[in-house]
């Protein structure tokens, strides 16, 4: 089926248009190979009967002509088009074999400039521009995907393709260039491809049996009573969304009040997952499963989570922002179950769907919209979870660090997204700190963590060569650069996010605690490889890890005393700090130990107490970590 689909598409690209812009179909094409190939009897006899061979070789010959002849308005190329580039005839081969004259060769070559990008400003807004960007010159290719997306949307490749992302490596990018070339040669404006002029519905439209499978009705969801529902939603936004702002509260509550979850299964699954995570902080017995008699509390929210399949059939056709939200929320909930190791896979699925929508690429300068901002939040939430989780399990990241350039979320509180004057939307009042700033800082910290994981924990010779992890000084240089990045990150924190155990504002206190505990976790990850091996950095790395572990333990204890918010990095950082402390305690038995074993034991107990507090939030994973520490 793909073969016929591509034939239809390429015929549309190559067929000349009349002045009205419609495709001029003279006659069915008979495809021939270039004479240089057909003159070979053995080659011709074996390939002459294959229509795709003739099509491909003819297309190759045409592209050779386009690139070899300079001057886009050449008479030869006009003749090639007006005569029909896919039609048989000796003239085509004569044109191809004709060497360009000196006059033509002296002219400038034909330029494939994307007209859509001429009016696009490539400088991102100051509120969303990542720091420490390298000063590379801007290139049209940086935003070529934007024009290609518009081109594909006009093409209407079917319901499953309208929102798909096509990058520069896609053959459709070449097809777009071909359409631009045709416009320049024929003089007819390039208004995009018109599938109605050539597509065959049997190959383009979804088949009835496919549609029946993909659009089959989903199981009706069962929601908690309204009072409990609103209580769980409130707990979610207060305890979780305040640290990882995946959802826009006004939009979510407005859709919930309209009853959209009753008829829109996509939004409904987001509601159920919000209830599941909110149940972690609820004391209402209705959130606990009837099967949870032996371990009360561990099943909190399971009834809501278990209703939604991990992969819905509709995802084979299209992806929405609700699907991305689901995968983040599902991974967050599963992290508190015995299936926590599967979280990496769940997040990976979410990231692949995010890439499918093209969220990983920046859109250029344009007025922000609620939809775009929600998509960005979903991508960055998945990205951060991916970096934290994979660093803990020692696995490679689900998305390459150099594969995305999407802007950071706009540092504007939810209530300022909308305004009667569109020009004043997404504008934070001057002098008022934004609660989203913490999330942006968290993203930057996770980016450093991702770089550290890729540069310091490469496991194969191939990956070490590709990352430049060779030579005698690369370790010291890499660690120095990572330390410098972390110091810049810490120095750039706004005043309201600097760690202060006496801070009165609970939201800012918890945001600050989350950031600084994660900071020390990243610091340990940077220096941990050099703690126990012979290296000039061994002593300094041991000192850095010890200090980071002590600081992390103190921060988490302070957060625990003020209603701890449990995230994966909460447990990972606490457990890692405990292991470093245990390592240091065992080292105290060896000569040359400098430290206070009593204080180290107190720090270890702080970590154990924090993990025990996580158990009260029905986080099953904390049980195993706490039990693991008792072995030491």
Beta bridge partners of 17: 23
Cβ atoms 548, 520 nearer than 8 A: yes
**Residue 199 or residue 545, greater confidence:** 545
Start-to-end CA distance of the chain, whole Å, equals: 61
- Band (76; pLDDT cuts 50, 70, 90): very low
> Which value, to the nearest 10 degrees, does the dihedral of the CA atoms of residues 57, 59, 63, 69 take?
80
pLDDT digits (tens, 9 = 90+) for 323-362: 999 999 999 999 988 888 889 999 999 999 888 888 867 7
Distance CA 428, CA 413 (A): 7
- How many degrees, rounded to 5, is the angle at CA 114 between CA 113 and CA 116? 145
pLDDT digits (tens, 9 = 90+) for 253-288: 999 999 999 999 999 999 999 999 999 999 898 998
Which pLDDT belongs to residue 590? Answer: 57
Instruction: Name the most confidently modeled range: 35-39, 146-150, 243-247.
Output: 243-247
375 pLDDT above the threshold of 60? yes
pLDDT digits (tens, 9 = 90+) for 481-532: 999 999 999 999 999 999 999 999 999 999 999 999 999 999 999 999 888 7
DSSP, res 283: -
181 pLDDT above the threshold of 80? no
**Residues 6 or more apart whose Cβ sits within 8 Å of residue 308:** 221, 269, 272, 273, 326, 330
Distance CA 511, CA 500 (A): 11
**Residues 6 or more apart whose Cβ sits within 8 Å of residue 335:** 343, 389, 568, 619, 621
Tokens 């333990």 belong to which residue? 553
State the angle between helix axes of 2-14 and 51-68 in degrees (0 to 180), rounded to the nearest 10. 40
Q: Is 23 helix (H, G, I), strand (E, B) or coil?
A: strand
Tell me the mean pLDDT in the region 131-136.
41
Which pLDDT belongs to residue 136? Answer: 40
Which pLDDT belongs to residue 544? Answer: 92
- Band (43; pLDDT cuts 50, 70, 90): very low
- Band (457; pLDDT cuts 50, 70, 90): confident
Length in residues, the chain: 632
pLDDT digits (tens, 9 = 90+) for 189-239: 666 555 555 667 676 677 777 777 777 777 789 999 999 999 999 999 999
Residue 563: CB atoms within 10 A of its CB come to 13
Which pLDDT belongs to residue 116? Answer: 29
28 pLDDT above the threshold of 80? no
Cβ atoms 270, 302 nearer than 8 A: no
Cβ atoms 351, 381 nearer than 8 A: no
Distance CA 537, CA 568 (A): 30
% residues pLDDT > 70 (the chain): 60
Which pLDDT belongs to residue 406? Answer: 86
**pTM given for the model:** 0.72
Helix, strand, coil percentages (3-state) for the chain, rounded to 5, are: 60, 0, 40
Which pLDDT belongs to residue 27? Answer: 43
Distance CA 188, CA 91 (A): 24
Cβ atoms 544, 529 nearer than 8 A: no
**Residues 6 or more apart whose Cβ sits within 8 Å of residue 523:** 486, 544, 545, 548
Compute φ and ψ for 412, nearest 5 degrees.
-145, 130
Mean pLDDT of the chain: 74
């Amino acid at each position: 089926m793909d073969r016929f689909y591509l034939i239809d598409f390429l015929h549309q690209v190559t067929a000349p248009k009349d002045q009205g812009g419609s495709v001029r179909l003279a006659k069915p094409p008979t495809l021939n190979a270039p004479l240089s190939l057909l003159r070979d009897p053995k080659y011709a006899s074996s390939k002459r009967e294959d229509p795709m061979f003739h099509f491909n070789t003819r297309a190759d010959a045409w592209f050779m002509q386009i690139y070899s002849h300079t001057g886009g308005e050449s008479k030869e190329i006009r003749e090639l088009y007006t005569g029909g580039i896919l039609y048989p005839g000796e003239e085509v081969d004569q044109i191809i074999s004709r060497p360009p004259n000196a006059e033509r060769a002296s002219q400038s070559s034909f330029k494939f400039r994307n007209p859509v990008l001429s009016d696009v400003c490539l400088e991102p807004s100051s509120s969303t521009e990542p720091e420490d960007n390298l000063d590379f010159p801007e290139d049209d290719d940086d935003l070529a995907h934007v024009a290609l997306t518009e081109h594909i949307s006009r093409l209407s490749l079917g319901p499953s393709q309208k929102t798909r992302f096509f990058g520069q490596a896609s053959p459709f990018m070449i097809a777009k260039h071909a359409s631009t070339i045709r416009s320049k040669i024929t003089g007819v404006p390039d208004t995009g491809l018109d599938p109605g002029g050539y597509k065959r519905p049997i190959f383009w439209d979804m088949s009835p049996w496919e549609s029946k499978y993909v659009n089959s009705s989903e199981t009706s969801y069962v929601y908690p009573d309204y009072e409990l529902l609103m209580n769980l939603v409130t707990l979610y936004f207060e305890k979780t969304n305040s640290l990882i702002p995946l959802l826009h509260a006004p939009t979510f509550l407005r859709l919930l009040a309209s009853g959209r979850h009753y008829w829109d299964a996509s939004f409904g699954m987001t509601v159920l997952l919000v209830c599941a995570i909110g149940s972690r902080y609820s004391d209402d017995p209705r959130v606990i499963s009837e099967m949870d008699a032996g371990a009360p509390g561990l099943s909190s929210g399971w009834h809501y989570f278990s209703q939604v399949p991990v992969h819905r059939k509709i995802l084979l056709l299209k992806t929405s922002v609700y699907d991305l939200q689901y995968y983040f929320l599902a991974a967050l909930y599963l992290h508190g179950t015995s299936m926590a190791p599967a979280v990496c896979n769940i997040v990976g699925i979410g990231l692949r769907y995010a890439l499918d929508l093209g969220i990983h690429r920046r859109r250029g300068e344009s007025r922000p919209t609620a939809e775009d901002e929600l998509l960005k939040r979903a991508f960055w939430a998945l990205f951060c979870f991916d970096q934290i989780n994979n660093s803990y399990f020692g696995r490679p990241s689900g998305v390459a660090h150099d594969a995305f350039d999407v802007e950071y979320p706009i540092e504007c509180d939810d209530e300022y997204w909308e305004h009667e004057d569109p020009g004043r939307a997404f504008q934070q009042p001057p002098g008022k700190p934004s609660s989203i700033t913490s999330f942006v800082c968290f993203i930057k910290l996770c980016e450093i963590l991702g770089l550290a994981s890729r540069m310091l924990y490469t496991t194969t010779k191939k990956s070490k060569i590709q990352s430049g992890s060779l030579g005698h000084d690369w370790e010291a240089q890499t660690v120095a650069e990572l330390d410098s990045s972390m110091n810049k990150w810490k120095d750039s924190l706004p005043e309201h996010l600097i760690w202060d155990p006496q801070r009165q504002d609970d939201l800012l206190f918890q945001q600050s605690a989350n950031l600084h505990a994660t900071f020390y976790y990243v610091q340990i990850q940077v220096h941990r490889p050099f703690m126990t091996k012979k290296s000039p950095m061994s002593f300094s790395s041991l000192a850095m890890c010890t200090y980071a572990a002590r600081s992390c333990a103190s921060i988490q204890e302070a957060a625990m005393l003020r209603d701890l918010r449990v995230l994966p990095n909460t447990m990972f950082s606490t457990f890692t700090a405990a292991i470093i402390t245990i390592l240091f305690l065992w080292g105290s038995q060896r000569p040359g130990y400098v430290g206070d074993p009593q204080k180290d034991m107190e720090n270890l107990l702080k970590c154990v107490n924090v993990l025990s507090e996580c158990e009260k939030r029905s986080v099953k994973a904390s049980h195993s970590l706490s039990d693991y520490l008792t072995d030491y």
